[in-house]
């Protein structure tokens, strides 16, 4: 599975849909007969995270697919509580062991260009073309992995491996690479061998290598979106490079796009479900200093959405009118935040990587750090008004999954983890003494330097690092640990820092791709860059990693139809191992990028804690006002209650 990274506020603002409003009254929809557009139903927003491509078949970046998800639809949709509903597929079924899934494609759906001209009708082959494109290694699609780790589509990975071999071997002509290493021959796999077939124009069949009861939840990811084969071939490498070089079958067309200046989305009048699209035009203006926009612009109606930094909240709260229209955002359980230790440090010698490598393999040393972290205080950096809604004790967020009427985080293997608070100064200091005694005998030098990097482009991360340093050094003593906060690059941060092993301790983030515990198990499997513990030479870490891998492997191969209890229990055992042995320290879920005043309501739109559904403007209304803090809290609590009821009914309870 592809590794996720720290989601930036830019991503949330580029999407600008995870926000809320209150009044249900709508402006009158007096439409211009010629254009079909009502000036009164226009949403004006601002953003500062620009897309890198419109090629939804290649990107795995949220800023990109948040926009593209409004331009192209998926096989399945979601309602506002996360229930799967019909999308471009109006019906579907699977065989008994869930290795073959058949979809009946909605008839009469049109592909149009950016000007709204009809180009072609949607057909089953559009998904076949997408699968062949994404799984061609020459495309270097960042979202290809979900064909292998999600639904495990038959021969998808084999085709990718073959096309990769053909590139490395120059079409089979070379037997060694540029470094003199032997290139292993890979058996030929043709694009038509991939398990995605069009039985006829309106019948699509996916064949999988193994049972997959959660396959439907993979289908709203960008790499499973359709593409017209003829248009794709015509565009070639230009596909997705401009608004003219993609086709549209979604709720909106991109009619104007000037990068780092503005973009305009206009309602697609040929859209198959246009009665559920309540916004005619979305005008988005790029503004790098977005947090400089104050309440005056919002209250005057100049803009319909304003992000509000914590530092600016005092100004907003001074005016009763603006104070009544600013609120936090719904906790985003699609993203899990945790502190990870690096077991294979590659940072500069001045930070003493060898000393860190000796210290970090000691479990008491890791626990002394974890028990010193006051997660509630850390959450207050992002949500000072209601930090408790962000806290989590597991890597998999609560309410993400249920089985047998129980939340996944309430399963027996995780009870020891969830029954206590990991913040305990007394325990931290006890572990400190045991760790110091053992490590001094092994030649570890104190204080141990703890390299703690942050991305300056992400709001408030430096403040959290400052607080972590204070908590660790005050609880454990600056003679035990010396926390070194290092500013990373504001671009290319992941490559320069986490993926390069250029950290000791770091706040990490991982996003779910589908509705199964496997999605949150993946960051700690072989080849991960969240801890590198699979590459550690210490015998105790090797044993723990072997236990974890064995549990995950067993879980992945375990299917028990609708209940999933055996499968989930195995994943829960693996997750408990990570936490109990202090390989990782769960922290919180996302706060949805802070505070906003916004006339849209996230509670109107689609919801799913994975994929692209919650990025869509479909179903949203422009409200007269934005919610207050209290209105938001009440609405969120009611929404969460209803969502949990839906989850319980879906699990037969």
Q: Is residue 2 part of a domain?
A: no
Mean pLDDT, the chain, rounded, equals 90
Most confident of the ranges 556-565, 619-628, 644-653: 619-628
Number of separate domains in the chain: 1
d(CA 144, CA 194): 13
Tell me the sheet residues that pair with 585. Answer: 339
pLDDT in tens, 220-248: 899 999 999 999 999 999 999 999 999 99
Q: In the structure, what pLDDT confidence band is assigned to residue 32 with cuts at 50, 70 and 90? A: very low
Give the orientation angle of helix 363-370 with respect to helix 425-441, to 10 degrees.
150
Q: What is the mean pLDDT of residues 112-130?
A: 98
Q: Is residue 365 part of a domain?
A: yes
3-state secondary structure 264-289: EEEECCCCCCHHHCCCCEEEEEECCC
Q: Is residue 531 part of a domain?
A: yes
Q: Is residue 10 part of a domain?
A: no
In this structure, are strands 481-487 and 448-454 parallel, antiparallel, or unpaired?
A: parallel
**Could you tell me the CATH number of the domain that includes residue 430?**
3.10.105.10
- Asked if 572 and 517 count as a contact pair (C-beta separation under 8 A), the reply is yes
**Percent of the chain's residues with pLDDT above 90:** 74
- What's residue 404's pLDDT? 83
Q: What is the mean pLDDT of residues 522-543?
A: 94
Name the DSSP letter for residue 8. Answer: P
The CA angle 615-589-557, to the nearest 5 degrees, is 85
Tell me the sheet residues that pair with 43. Answer: 282
pLDDT at residue 594 tops 60: yes
Q: Is residue 487 part of a domain?
A: yes
Whole-Å CA distances, 429 to 416, 436, 468, 552: 21, 10, 16, 33
- Measured in degrees and rounded to the nearest 5, phi and psi for residue 652 equal 75, 25
d(CA 521, CA 514): 12
Q: Is residue 428 part of a domain?
A: yes
pLDDT in tens, 57-73: 999 888 898 999 999 99
pLDDT in tens, 197-212: 999 999 999 999 999 9
**Percent of the chain's residues with pLDDT above 70:** 92
- Asked if 239 and 54 count as a contact pair (C-beta separation under 8 A), the reply is no
In this structure, are strands 584-590 and 332-341 parallel, antiparallel, or unpaired?
A: antiparallel
pLDDT at residue 282 tops 60: yes
Between 294 and 651, whose confidence is greater? 294
Q: Is residue 386 part of a domain?
A: yes
Q: What is the pTM of this model?
A: 0.86
pLDDT at residue 3 tops 60: no
- Asked if 624 and 101 count as a contact pair (C-beta separation under 8 A), the reply is no
Q: Is residue 371 part of a domain?
A: yes
What residue numbers bound the domain in which 523 lies?
332-590
Residue closest to 482 by CA, chosen among 350, 337, 346? 350
Q: Picking from 39-43, 71-75, 301-305, 358-362, which range would have the lowest pLDDT averaged per residue?
A: 39-43
- Asked if 20 and 602 count as a contact pair (C-beta separation under 8 A), the reply is yes
């Amino acid at each position: 599975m592809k590794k996720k990274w720290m989601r930036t506020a830019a991503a949330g603002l580029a999407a600008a849909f995870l926000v809320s409003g209150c009044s249900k009254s709508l402006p009158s929809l007096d439409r211009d007969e010629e254009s079909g557009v009502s000036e009164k139903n226009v949403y004006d927003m601002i953003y500062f995270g620009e897309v890198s491509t419109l090629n939804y078949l290649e990107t795995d970046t949220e800023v990109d697919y948040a926009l593209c998800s409004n331009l192209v639809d998926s096989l399945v949709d979601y309602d506002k509580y996360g229930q799967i509903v019909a999308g471009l597929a109006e019906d579907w079924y699977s065989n008994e062991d869930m290795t073959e899934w058949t979809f009946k494609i909605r008839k009469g759906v049109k592909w149009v260009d950016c000007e709204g001209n009809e180009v072609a009708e949607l057909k089953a082959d559009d998904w076949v073309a997408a699968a062949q494109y994404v799984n061609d290694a020459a495309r270097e699609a960042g979202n290809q992995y979900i064909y292998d780790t999600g639904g495990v589509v038959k021969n998808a990975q084999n085709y990718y491996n073959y096309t990769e071999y053909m590139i490395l071997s120059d079409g089979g002509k070379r037997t060694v690479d540029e470094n003199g290493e032997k290139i292993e021959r890979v058996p030929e796999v043709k694009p038509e061998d991939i398990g995605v077939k069009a039985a006829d124009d309106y019948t699509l069949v996916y064949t999988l290598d193994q049972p997959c009861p959660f396959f439907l939840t993979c289908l709203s990811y960008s790499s499973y979106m359709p593409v017209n084969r003829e248009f794709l071939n015509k565009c070639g490498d230009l596909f997705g490079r401009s608004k003219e070089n993609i086709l549209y079958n979604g709720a909106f067309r991109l009619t104007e796009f000037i990068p780092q200046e503005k973009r305009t989305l206009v309602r697609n009048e040929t859209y198959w479900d246009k009665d559920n699209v309540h916004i005619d035009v979305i005008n988005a203006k790029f503004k790098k200093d977005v947090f400089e926009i104050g309440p005056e612009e919002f209250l005057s109606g100049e803009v319909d959405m304003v992000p509000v930094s914590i530092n600016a909240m005092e100004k907003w709260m001074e005016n009763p009118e603006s104070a009544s229209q600013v609120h936090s955002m719904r906790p985003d359980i699609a993203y899990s935040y945790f502190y990870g230790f690096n077991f294979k440090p590659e940072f500069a010698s001045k930070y003493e990587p060898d000393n860190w490598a000796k210290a970090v393999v000691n479990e008491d040393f890791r626990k002394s750090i974890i028990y010193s972290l006051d997660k509630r205080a850390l959450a207050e950096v992002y949500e000072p008004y209601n930090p408790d809604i962000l806290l989590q004790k597991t890597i998999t967020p609560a309410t993400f999954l249920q089985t047998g009427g129980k939340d996944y985080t309430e399963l027996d293997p995780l009870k020891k983890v969830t029954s206590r608070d990991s913040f305990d100064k007394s325990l931290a200091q006890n572990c400190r003494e045991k760790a110091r005694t053992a490590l001094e005998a092994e030649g570890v030098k104190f204080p141990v330097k703890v390299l703690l990097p942050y991305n300056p482009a992400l709001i408030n991360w430096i403040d959290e690092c400052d607080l972590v340093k204070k908590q660790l050094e005050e609880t454990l003593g600056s003679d035990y640990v010396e926390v070194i906060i290092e500013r990373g690059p504001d671009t290319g941060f992941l490559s320069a820092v986490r993926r390069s092993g250029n950290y000791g301790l770091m706040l990490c983030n991982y996003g779910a791709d589908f509705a199964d515990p496997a999605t949150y198990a993946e960051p700690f499997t072989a080849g991960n860059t969240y801890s590198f513990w699979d590459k550690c030479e210490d015998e105790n870490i090797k044993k723990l990693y072997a236990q974890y891998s064995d549990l995950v492997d067993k879980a992945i191969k375990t299917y028990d139809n609708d209940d999933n209890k055996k499968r989930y229990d195995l994943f829960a055992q693996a997750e408990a191992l990570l936490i109990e042995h202090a390989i990782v320290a769960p922290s919180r879920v996302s706060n949805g990028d802070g505070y906003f005043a916004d006339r849209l309501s996230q509670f109107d739109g689609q919801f799913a804690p994975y994929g692209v559904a919650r990025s869509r403007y479909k179903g949203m209304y422009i409200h007269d006002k934005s919610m207050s803090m209290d209105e938001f809290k009440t609405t969120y609590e009611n929404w969460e209650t209803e969502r949990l009821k839906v989850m319980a009914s879906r699990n037969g309870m």
